[in-house]
Chain A
Amino acid sequence: MYSTTCLSSGSTEKEYDMSNHRVTNNIRTLRFHADEMTQQQLADKVGVTRQTIVAIEKGKYSPSLELAFKMSRVFETPLEEVFSFNDKPEKQTHSL
């Protein structure tokens, strides 16, 4: 119904369960592929603090649409490759 495909190609995905839905992200891998971009560099590019990037990567914060789009522009990838959404949460928190 509303599920999008999880990004599972050799990536470390962080996910969290909030209000019966689950958002996963692929930021750590995308940073690695972007010349090992640091969290601080990404934070500076999208205009947030490093702590916010850390929270997003750990799945402790769901960013606004604006911030999500900014991140996808930084990585020059579609939004779906940075974030994905599942309505059927699994117990597994890391998929490599």
Chain B
Amino acid sequence: MYYHEKKSILNILSTLIIYGIYYWFVFEKYGSEAMSPEEELQFWGKTLLLVIPIAIAGKIIIHIAFSVTHRIISKEKQPCFEDEREKLIMLKSTRNAFFVFGFGFLGALSAIALGWPLHVMFTWMICAGVMSDVFDNLSQLWFHRKGI
């Protein structure tokens, strides 16, 4: 298995772990507090803003740990540049991720349109974000393995 394939698998796992733990705490907190609609909007706004630095920091730490252990175990140098194939794979994977997020966003809008509670819309948005990230890496893995 090549470096990029391992990296895609790691990205999927780290996304699921980081977002899973974070949103587990978020939904626990959400369920334990009674909020007015204004407070609820503020709560979800804070939640979505806070997940960005947490995800970035978490992924940086995981990737540093992965690079070090991968270098020690396999003694394989990680590619220091992206060639045309890698860029094409990234572009196609990003396109697939946008499709997934687009459908999720439509789902979130539909939840508002149908008059469902606010947390349903935000849950849709969160799921769309996580799924698009997972789908991005799954696409990369697929293109690396099956060809492009």
- The reply to whether A16 and B86 contact each other, CB–CB distance below 8 Å, is no
A48 partner, pick from B3, B4, B83, B144, beta carbons under 8 A? B83
Task: Please choose the segment from A27-35, A61-69, A79-87, A88-96 that sits at the chain B interface, where 4 or more of its residues have CB less than 8 A away.
Answer: A61-69
Residues of B within 8 A of A38 (CB): none
Indicate whether A10 reaches chain B with its CB closer than 8 angstroms.
no
Indicate whether A49 reaches chain B with its CB closer than 8 angstroms.
yes
Indicate whether A37 reaches chain B with its CB closer than 8 angstroms.
no
Is chain A's interface secondary structure helix, strand, loop, or mixed overall? loop
Indicate whether B147 reaches chain A with its CB closer than 8 angstroms.
yes
Indicate whether B53 reaches chain A with its CB closer than 8 angstroms.
no
| B residues lining the A interface (CB < 8 Å) | 2-4, 79, 81, 83-86, 144, 146-148
| A residues lining the B interface (CB < 8 Å) | 16, 47-49, 51-52, 55, 58-61, 63-64, 67
